[in-house]
Amino acid sequence: MRIFITGIAGFLGSHLADRMIELGHEVSGNDTLIGGYEDNVNHKATLYKVDCCDRERMADIMKGVDIVVHTAATAHEGLSVVSPDFITKNIFQATVATVSAALENKVKRFVYCTSMARYGGQTIPFHEEQTPTPVDPYGIAKVAGEQVLITLSEVHGMEWNIAVPHNIVGPRQRYDDPFRNVMSIMINRNLQGKPSIIYGDGQQTRCFSYVDDCIQCLEKLTLDENIVNQIVNIGPDEGTITIKDLASLVANKTGCNLDPIHVDDRPQEVKHAMCSANKARKLLNYETTTDLETAVEHTINYIKARGTKPFDYTFPLEIVNSRTPKTWKDRLI
């Protein structure tokens, strides 16, 4: 099977590529390297340095492909409130162009990795049957991408599946990005002898999913002929942790004895987020095999091996005012 993965140098895409190659499939993909590392890419995979928004080039490099898995995204939910043009272009426009290129090449199946941001601030745990109510431009763009995929797939006869991963953590996650990946930011700072930074009181609750558990589900959504036209949450629902307690766990594992710094709330942040895994358990045989403590340890070891990094503020801040987090506009992370 010829499988094309967008965002193949990224966190999720590179792990999925490894698994598909392990299973004997021919893998290629694209990446602009704004959110991933080139050395994440398996040497047996073909990397094209092409932007998903470039529909003509995407159509060209997808020739002969059987399945497309769209993992590429500027996955910056918080940043989208102050940089909506940059973020939504790289979510919605990129998705439309990728779907169009896939349809031009008569791709059999398209798997789209959306986001838990689709649920907004609804009552937890989030269920797939809930009507999406995103509260920020990132979530809005993700949901719009879902709708375009479903509509065009029905018109042109392409199979689709939509994965809803939430709070995935583990090795290869970008850890020098100041705008996302809370656990990796904490680890990178703590290993440099700097305290964690927490928005608000730290009582926000999350469930974190280790990347290998997510890949097991994506494998089935990609390859199982009996799983078609499904939207499935991917991630644990057996326990939440507050951001404050996460900071304590990371500090304990890194040996950093500094108290976290609390700053103002981030605008539009969903306070409590957790997805029901019932459908994933039934349809994909999902189970949590790596607990959060072990996930933290694996990620620490990964960052230690690569070396800590200063944070990269390359992405633009389009709207700078009193609601823009000081951590970003004053580069405090």
Q: What does the pLDDT read at residue 238?
A: 87
Residue 23 pLDDT exceeds 90: yes
Q: Which tens digit of pLDDT belongs to each residue from 170-212?
A: 999 999 999 999 999 999 999 999 999 999 999 999 999 999 9
Quote the Cα angle for 87-93-99, to 5°.
130
Q: Are 92 and 80 in contact (CB under 8 A)?
A: no
Is the pLDDT confidence value at 76 over 90? yes
For residue 239, the model assigns a pLDDT of: 80
Contact (CB, 8 A) for 162 and 114 = yes
What the chain holds in terms of domains, given with CATH numbers, is 2-168+211-234 (3.40.50.720), 169-206+237-274+289-313 (3.90.25.10)
Instruction: Give the residue-averaged pLDDT of 315-330.
Output: 97
User: Alpha-carbon dihedral of residues 23, 29, 35, 40, nearest 10 degrees?
Assistant: 40
Q: Is the pTM of this model over 0.85?
A: yes
Nearest residue to 16 via CA among 42, 35, 39, 34:
42
Write the pLDDT tens digit of every residue in 30-62: 999 999 999 999 999 999 999 999 999 999 999
Is residue 160 within 8 A of residue 149, CB to CB? The reply is yes
Place of tokens 């930011």: 185
pLDDT in tens, 310-322: 999 999 999 999 9
How many Cβ atoms are within 10 Å of 176's Cβ, its own excluded? 18
From 84, 102, 80, 83, select the one nearest 29 (Cα to Cα).
102
